[in-house]
Amino acid sequence: MAPGENRHTEWMGLALDEARSALATEDVPIGAVVIGPDGGVLGSGRNQREELGDPTAHAEVVAIRQAAERLRELSKLDGGNGDGWRLADCTLVVTLEPCAMCAGAVVLARIPRVVFGAWDEKAGAAGSVFDVLRERRLNHWVEVYGGIREDECGALLRDFFAAHRRG
């Protein structure tokens, strides 16, 4: 087992919980959490595109926004002047390989690590179709750990889409 993989597996359980909660609003069950430097959750999100009618309400974006807001709040409490948008030393954990939009948000938020479950062979931007997270022409590069609890993450998505095809 690679260093940190145990924590990755544990954190993926939190992202899976978020993904399952998306089923209540008929959103695609994808969940994400942003883990802070201390190992605690700074932000969490699930797909909310259907619920909010917002094409940008992907789980990753929701979690990143929440984490940035939390960092701004913590900075104010500490008397600091942190901007909140730089999520340095954080880890994004998501049940599906990020798409190009979400990978771009990761780069812009300066998140150094992404852990994901299932690969997305149609729209993945962390190595499947594109590799935005490790694109050397960009100003920030990301460590990527894919395939964490892949079977569980993939099954949730396959079951969701199978039910929608039947219904």
60 annotated active-site:
yes
What 49-57 contacts at long range (C-beta under 8 Å, 24+ apart), as own/partner pairs, is 50/25, 50/26, 51/25, 51/27, 56/101
CB 36 within 8 A of CB 43: no
* CA–CA distance, 32 with 54 (Å, rounded to integer): 17
CB 138 within 8 A of CB 115: no
- Determine the number of helices (DSSP H) and then strands (DSSP E) in the chain: 5, 5
Selected catalytic residue, list 60, 69, 97, 121 = 60
* Residues acting as catalytic residues: 60
